Amino acid sequence: MKRLALNGSPRGSQSNSRKILSWILEGMREAGAQAPPILDIAHTKQLDSQRTAFLEADEVLLVFPLYTDSVPGVVKGFLDTLVGADPARLSGKRFCFVVHSGFPESAQSEPVSAYLARLCTRLGMRLVGAAIKGGSEGLKIMPDGMTRKTRERFMAIGRGLVRDGAFDPEAVRKLAQPRRINLVGRILLALLAPTNLQNFYWTMQLKKHGAWEHRFDRPYARETT
């Protein structure tokens, strides 16, 4: 079987999506399969070769982050090119995906997951796996001890894809937890809000890129008189 892995993050190789893909592919190798090549969709100048690779593959794995409650623009642009493809080259193609986000609740990603499942049906492909992971921002910089369980679950997805032809359902279920933040979690977040601890990563990024002083700017706000 000819497999292909697509990284749908605009950050390319320096992304959480790449980290997730590395875990899934590690599980696939554990199960005895050769890890497929990874293409970064963010390299839009390579769109033609990426599209060709997609059409030639028997099974495609797509991993991407949730952007404004949908797929990133580079992923949407790529998927749009498939709509006009020869139906015979899409029919029966095995397709699977992982959508992840900085939101702790997996429910935030359910609409885009449903959209991809429907698109898969419209294009005549066979959906063999769909997983949602919340709280993924910062995975690529976290120490191994903090990501152990997440890594194991994504590896289980890779093993399941090779051994059973589908994502491991228990791993998918665990990755999607929590679907909603419970009452205790909401209370803790409310207590932490004044400390700004939950935003430490974003604070670090703003300062790193010289945007801290402009964090409350409203460049597109309409002026009122």
pLDDT at residue 181, rounded to an integer: 82
pLDDT of residue 69: 86
Q: Which of 135, 171, 187 is nearest to 24 (CA)?
A: 171
pLDDT tens track for 80-105: 999 889 999 999 999 999 999 998 89
Which pLDDT does position 44 carry in this prediction?
92
| Residues whose CB falls within 8 Å of the CB of residue 188, separated by 6 or more in sequence, listed in order | none
pLDDT at 51: 96
> What is the average pLDDT across 196-225?
82
Start-end of CATH 3.40.50.360 domains in the chain: 3-180
Candidates 145, 126, 147, 121; CA nearest to 136 is 147
Closest by alpha carbon to 188, among 96, 115, 104, 113?
104
pLDDT in the model for residue 84: 86
Band of residue 223 on the pLDDT scale cut at 50, 70, 90: low
Give the pLDDT band of residue 225 (cuts 50, 70, 90).
Answer: low
Confidence check: pLDDT of 40 > 60: yes
pLDDT in tens, 104-122: 899 999 999 999 999 999 9
- Do 13 and 40 form a contact (C-beta atoms < 8 A)? yes
Fold for the domain defined by 3-180:
Rossmann fold (3.40.50)
Which helix (H) or strand (E) segment is 130 a member of?
Answer: strand 126-133
Range name among 80-94, 98-112, 159-173, 211-225 with the lowest pLDDT average: 211-225
Strand partners, 92: none
- What is the pairing mode between strands 38-40 and 3-7? parallel
What pLDDT does 224 receive?
Answer: 59
Global pTM value: 0.87
According to DSSP, the residues that pair with 95 across neighbouring strands are: 60, 127
Please state, in angstroms and as integers, the Cα–Cα distance from residue 75 to each residue in 22, 52, 107, 157, 224, following that order.
Answer: 19, 15, 21, 22, 37
Q: How many CA atoms lie within 13 A of 75 on its CB side?
A: 26
